[in-house]
């Protein structure tokens, strides 16, 4: 469950901004969904994000560099929870990786990742009319691996990873994007529900600043399994 927990944290933080009036550049949001980090609004040049536990111990760190159009040029990730890391470059529309997990692919002129290769296989990515990531498909079989469902906002209200048996559903029961509930369903023999609640503070330009996250296997959040804190530092053009 640790790997799923870390993915949830990045997904949730990005969704707070996306559910509000603040709008992302599609290229920035798509990269955040694909490579599991928080999207940033504005003409961002560099974004660094940390996850720590209550004792201040680093759990994960992500550093993303962008060009002036909002397209990612470099992504570095260290995940101490799952003992993995990756370093990827996007140069002239070609993604290469080094020092960790293997990732390769192609990026078009709209900064949409159209092809992706990793240790799990070769994939083709599809986007909706708004330029937002809609599905990830196995290149050889045409089977849908992941699907992203949207309503009126930019951020998906549901993300399903079919082969991994993961189903993320997002809701805002208090009428504010600052307080969000997420239900993660893991299909292992029978459904297993994992509830998540998070609250964030924001910078003046609408980006997430600091967040607290509680994860629990019961809907009253008693005896939570995880309590983490996130921090963000952004540099702009």
- CATH number of the structural domain spanning residue 159: 2.40.160
Please say whether the beta carbons of 103 and 86 come within 8 A. Answer: yes
Report the C-alpha gap between 125 and 227 in whole angstroms: 33
Tokens standing for 154? Answer: 């930019």
Q: Which distant-in-sequence residues (6+ apart) come within 8 Å of 220 by Cβ?
A: none
Total of domains in the chain: 1
**Containing domain of residue 187, as a range?**
2-236
Give residue 225's pLDDT.
Answer: 63
Strands 113-118 and 121-127: antiparallel
Report the C-alpha gap between 219 and 68 in whole angstroms: 43
Give residue 21's pLDDT.
Answer: 47
| Residue 24 CB burial class (10 angstroms; 0-12, 13-18, ≥19) | buried
Tokens standing for 31? Answer: 């990269």
Nearest to 133 by CA among 39, 206, 66: 39
Nearest to 228 by CA among 216, 217, 218, 214: 214
Report the C-alpha gap between 235 and 223 in whole angstroms: 38
Give residue 7's pLDDT.
Answer: 55
Q: For residue 104, which phi and psi values (nearest 5 degrees)?
A: -145, 165
- Predicted confidence pLDDT, tens digits, the chain (237 residues): 344 545 555 555 555 454 444 578 899 999 998 998 888 888 999 999 998 888 889 988 999 999 999 999 999 999 888 888 999 999 999 999 998 899 999 999 999 999 999 999 999 999 999 999 999 999 999 999 999 998 877 878 788 988 887 787 776 555 544 445 555 555 444 555 666 666 777 777 767 777 777 777 766 666 656 778 888 888 999
Nearest to 157 by CA among 11, 43, 6: 11
**Paired strand residues for 234:** 47
Angle at 181 between CA 175 and CA 183, to 5 degrees: 140
Give residue 174's pLDDT.
Answer: 53
């Amino acid at each position: 469950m640790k790997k799923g927990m870390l993915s949830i944290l990045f997904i949730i933080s990005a969704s707070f901004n996306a559910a509000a009036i603040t709008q992302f550049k599609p290229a920035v949001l798509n990269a955040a969904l694909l490579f599991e980090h928080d999207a940033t609004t504005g003409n961002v040049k560099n974004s660094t994000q940390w996850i720590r536990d209550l004792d201040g111990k680093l759990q994960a760190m992500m550093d993303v560099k962008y060009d002036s159009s909002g397209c990612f040029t470099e992504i570095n990730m260290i995940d101490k929870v799952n003992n993995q890391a990756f370093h990827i470059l996007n140069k002239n529309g070609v993604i290469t990786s080094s020092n960790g997990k293997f990732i390769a692919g192609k990026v078009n002129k709209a900064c949409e990742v159209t092809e992706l290769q990793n240790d799990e296989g070769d994939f083709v990515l599809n986007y909706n009319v708004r330029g937002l990531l809609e599905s990830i498909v196995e290149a050889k079989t045409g089977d849908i691996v992941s699907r992203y469902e949207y309503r009126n906002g930019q951020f998906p209200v549901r993300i399903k990873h079919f082969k991994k048996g993961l189903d993320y559903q997002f809701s805002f029961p208090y009428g504010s994007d600052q307080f969000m509930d997420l239900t993660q369903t893991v299909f292992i023999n029978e459904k297993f529900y994992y509830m998540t609640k998070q609250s964030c503070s924001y910078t003046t330009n609408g980006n997430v600043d600091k967040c607290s996250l509680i994860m629990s296997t019961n809907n009253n959040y008693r005896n939570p399994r995880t309590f983490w804190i996130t921090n963000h530092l952004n540099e702009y053009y």
